[in-house]
């Protein structure tokens, strides 16, 4: 039987490396989730959430850093050498969520290059509390995806994780910081609970050729084998 495995793409064999980012919880704009609606359950959420995202925040401790409207907060990042497949995961929700542009997240590398990504209410960020504010999370945005990371069921509170894809051209540089600019025109406050850098991030499963492609590939291989036999017989 002719083996066609060489024609099927395969993901990188390198394992992903996760580096957690220490979020400062020492200023007047920080707190812990136990003080919010049903916050004791959020405070006790496990480090890997409970919705099967596969994302674990080793530094999760039930606290948050609050970025108020019109405020920009910069977070330092440990020295992390980036690869072509690098991303940043955040636990980011808000109070009084709306459907406007809620925040601009800007990443900076060691060459001084920046990459700014918008978070839009109803798409990649929403209120932590299932109430009268923005509760939709479509999960898709430009340069970022989002999914529910944890919830406490019928009580109606949740935390969402965003995955920001960093530019492939940044490979070989270090990520040095990221900032969150809360430019919401209303009273929406962005709430950052945890963050991490992932290098050699998974880029998807192997691509399986269509049956017609397999037939063409097989025909090509057979032709090459036939030519080799003819050369040997000559």
In this predicted model, what pLDDT tens digit does every residue of 159-217 receive, in sequence order?
Answer: 999 999 999 999 999 999 999 998 766 667 899 999 999 999 987 423 333 344 434 44
The model's confidence at residue 30, banded by pLDDT at 50, 70 and 90, is confident
pLDDT at 106 over 70: yes
Question: Is the separation of the CB atoms in 121 and 98 below 8 Å?
Answer: yes
Mean pLDDT, residues 52-65? 95
CA distance 18 to 145: 18
pTM of the predicted model as reported, rounded to 2 decimal places: 0.80
CATH topology of domain 14-203: Jelly Rolls (2.60.120)
What SS3 state is found at 146? strand
Q: Which sequence spans correspond to the domains of the chain?
A: 14-203, 206-234
CA distance 43 to 196: 19
What are phi and psi for residue 214, nearest 5 degrees?
Answer: -65, -40
Q: What pLDDT does residue 90 have?
A: 98
């Amino acid at each position: 039987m002719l083996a066609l495995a060489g024609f099927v793409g395969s993901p990188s064999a390198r394992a992903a490396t996760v580096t957690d980012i220490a979020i400062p919880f020492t200023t007047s704009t920080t707190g812990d989730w136990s003080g919010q609606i049903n916050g004791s359950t959020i405070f006790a959420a496990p480090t890997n959430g409970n919705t099967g995202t596969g994302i674990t925040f080793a530094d999760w401790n039930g606290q948050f850093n609050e970025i108020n409207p019109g405020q920009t907060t910069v977070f330092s990042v440990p020295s992390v050498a980036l690869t072509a497949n690098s991303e940043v995961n955040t636990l980011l929700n808000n109070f009084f969520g709306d459907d406007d542009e809620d925040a601009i997240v800007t990443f900076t590398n060691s060459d001084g290059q920046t990459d700014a990504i918008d978070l839009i209410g109803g798409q990649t960020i929403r209120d932590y509390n299932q109430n009268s504010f923005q509760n939709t999370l479509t999960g898709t945005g430009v340069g970022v995806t989002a999914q529910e990371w944890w919830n406490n069921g019928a009580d109606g509170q949740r935390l969402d994780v965003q995955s920001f894809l960093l530019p492939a051209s940044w490979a070989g540089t270090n990520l040095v910081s990221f900032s969150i600019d809360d430019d919401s025109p209303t009273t929406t406050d962005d709430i950052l609970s945890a963050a991490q850098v992932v290098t050699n991030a998974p880029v998807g499963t192997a691509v399986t050729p269509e049956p017609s492609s397999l037939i063409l590939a097989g025909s090509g291989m057979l032709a090459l084998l036939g030519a080799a036999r003819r050369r040997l017989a000559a």
